[in-house]
Every structure is written in structure tokens, then in C-alpha cells.
Amino acid sequence: MRRFDAIVIGGGLVGTAIGYGLARAGLAVALVDEGDIAYRASRGNFGLVWVQSKGLGAPHYQRWTRRSAQEWPALAAELGASSGIALGLEQQGGLQLCLGYDEMSRRRTMMQQMHREAGNFGFEYRMIHRAELAGMLPGLGPAVTGASWTPYDGHVNSLALFHALHRAFAGSGGTYLPNCTITEAHAAPGDFRIDAGPQTLAAPKIVLAAGLGNAGLAPLFGLNAPVRPQRGQILVTERTTYRWPVPLGSIRQTPEGTILLGSSEEDVGFDTGQRPDIMQRIAQRAVLSFPWLAELQIVRAWAALRVMPPDGLPIYDESEAYPGAFTANCHSGVTLAGAHANVFAPMVAAGALDPMMAPFSARRFDVPAAA
């Protein structure tokens, strides 16, 4: 049996960010990963560090996302230095385009509510009308009425992030165990044992960060993680010489010139297939936004599964029955990497979640539905 200070289950962006934060704090960490057969949202995401549409009606989530965005520059610099991998982080703000007047008016109402709910925390944003926007984004389509802007948004090479986190985790003394599927779990307060393939691991702390796998794992540790898959599809164009000045909610360009087009939401279970009608809708909206995109060739396209809690908000929890067991579930592993490595991991290292995390507990789903 191999003993560690903490076991993290899940080697995707969420698990690796938390594992890195724990290893950096001096804990001996085992990062248990299912391997390449996993539904790997970390390899299918869009790469936004995105704040402006997160947490409507849930100010705690808005603050959490903002906090993560604040942590991002330091995390990117630290990972860059320790891994030698440039993450390509840009955080100069982002735009959410509106097509037609209804979208613009709904967006304005939403941003007003975000601002109201931010309270003393503040929420800087602007609604930018078409005339001004056309000066910022050449070749704007006639259907675009405007956009919302916040200074908090940005984007990053999410595959580089994934690679850098793994390197930094290993560089901090972490033990990465790939191709391990959990076959047996034993929980006692502050004493956890799991069988993963041929080996048995033991630690006083365990963090469940297995994405969609958390739904089945959580009950073994007195936790609840009712996450379900939500499929998203992405189209990728050839590289262009044009340099997009700022990322948009569903269009972003990599520093190498590739343009990514999103986004979609489908409830289709564990199906990572693609559908032409969805791809067509993504392309149509992109071309309505920027007609010149129509001439570009699509060179890649894929689908991936978001890890979606019932209300769309992240779940962070600690087990009452088995103190020392934690869970992290979200569909924003890129945006929240800063918070996971720099805020959540230190709480786990200290042994308990901060009271500010209480609204994220899965206990919010225990309220019986009204008749």
C-alpha cells in the first residue's frame, strides 16, 4: 500500500490544478487518472478565461469566477516559469456579440443584473453599440447590433495549460498515476483507501475531481455530485494573417492565427459525436457576425462533454460523514484553474473549506421540490 498526504482523483484540468496547488503546498499527492479513455473535457474546451456571463442570479459564482480571473496572471507566470511552456494568456477584456435588437436588449438587462448583484464588489461593463463596435472589429456583419464588454475576460491556450499543469505537478514532487480506474474505495474520517488497478493507495485527504465520473464516486465518500454531460461542438478554421483584437464569447483566435468557433449546448448523454445541423448553426452565426469568415476553410471540428450540475453552477463540497473528503465539479476548468490551484487547493491543504464556499455545496439540491 502506498501512502500519500492527499489523493486527487481525476487528471483533467480540475484535478491537475488542485493537485498542483496541493503539491506546491508541500503535500505528497497522488493524482489518479483514468487515462485517454476518459471523457476528457480538458481536451475539448474552447480556451476562454471568461467572466462576463457567469453567475447571473448567483453572486457567489460571479465572485468565484472573478477571483479566478484575478489569480490567472500569477498562475500563468508561475506555470510558464516552472514548466517552460508559454500559455499565451491574454486578459485585456472580451466581447459578447448581440445579433438583432432583442439580443442586445436582453444582454443589457442581464449585465445590469450582474452589476446589481455584484454589490460592493463592483462589476465594470459597457454595452457597446454597433457604430463603435465596427471601429473595433473590422468586417462586422449587418446583423450585429452591439456587444457587451467587461475588462475581466480573456483567453489562453488550454492544451498548453493542461500540459503545463501536469509538468508543474510532477515538478513539485507530485505522483501521477495514469490508466487507473477505481475498483474499490474505503472511506473513514481522515482515512481513505482506494484500489486503482493493481495498487492500493491511502491518504488522510481525498479530492474527487473526476468530472462526469464524480456522479458515481461521490456517494462512496458521503458526497453528492449529480453532474450530467452536456455536449458542446467547436469548429476550427485555417490560420489567417488577420489578428483578432479581442476574444468574443463564441469566437476566438489563437496567437498562431487559427480561429475557433463555438458554441452549442446539447443534452445527448455520453455521446461525443457531431451533428451537421449543429455545426451549420455555429457556422451560420459566425458568418452573420463576420461575413468574411464564410471564405475560410474549416480544418477541424470536434465535440466534447461539459460537466454540468443541475443548476449549471459549480459544486464544491466536503463530506460531513467522512471529513477529509472533498469534491470539485464544474464546466469551466480553464477559467477556474486560477481559483482551483490558488484558492481551493490551500483550503483542502488546511483541512476544511472556507465558509464562503458554503453556497456551492450540493446540499442546495436537498430542498424538497414544492408540490
Partner 1 sequence: MFRPRPDSSAPTIIVEVEGSNIRVPVGASAAAAVLAAGLGSIRDTPVGQVGRAPYCMMGICFDCLAEIDGVPNRQSCMVTARPGMRIRRQHGARLVDPTASTTDDPP
How far lies 149's CA from each of 36, 60, 248, 255, 334, in Å?
37, 21, 9, 21, 20
How far lies 360's CA from each of 100, 220, 314, 367, in Å?
35, 20, 6, 14
Taking the complex as a whole, how short is the minimal distance between the CB of residue 240 and partner 1, in angstroms? 4
Residue 59 binds to partner 1 (criterion: CB under 8 A): no
Residue 138 binds to partner 1 (criterion: CB under 8 A): yes
Residue 130 binds to partner 1 (criterion: CB under 8 A): yes
Residue 120 binds to partner 1 (criterion: CB under 8 A): no
Instruction: Please tell me the count of residues contacting partner 1 according to CB under 8 A.
Output: 26
Region 158-187 residues binding partner 1, contact defined as CB under 8 A: none
Taking the complex as a whole, how short is the minimal distance between the CB of residue 106 and partner 1, in angstroms? 16
Residue 136 binds to partner 1 (criterion: CB under 8 A): no
Query: Please, which residue, 130 or 193, has the CB nearer to partner 1?
Result: 130
Pair 172, 27: CB distance under 8 Å: no
Considering only residues 36, 37, 198, 256, which one is a binding residue for partner 1 as defined by CB under 8 A? 256
Q: Which residue has cell 490551484? A: 341
**CA nearest neighbour of 14 among 55, 67, 68, 61:** 68
Distance CA 331, CA 265 (A): 12
Residue 86 binds to partner 1 (criterion: CB under 8 A): no
Three-class SS state of 34: coil
Length of the chain: 371
Taking the complex as a whole, how short is the minimal distance between the CB of residue 140 and partner 1, in angstroms? 6
Residue 239 binds to partner 1 (criterion: CB under 8 A): yes
Residue 299 binds to partner 1 (criterion: CB under 8 A): yes
Cell of 300: 477541424
Cell of 223: 458526497
Q: DSSP assignment of 320-349, as one string?
A: SSSTTEEEEE-S-TTTTHHHIIIIIHHHHH
- The interface mask with partner 1, positions 261-290, x = CB under 8 A, is -----------------------------x
Query: Please, which residue, 142 or 276, has the CB nearer to partner 1?
Result: 142
**Residues contributing to the site for partner 1 (CB under 8 A):** 100-101, 130, 134, 137-145, 238-242, 256-257, 290-292, 296-297, 299
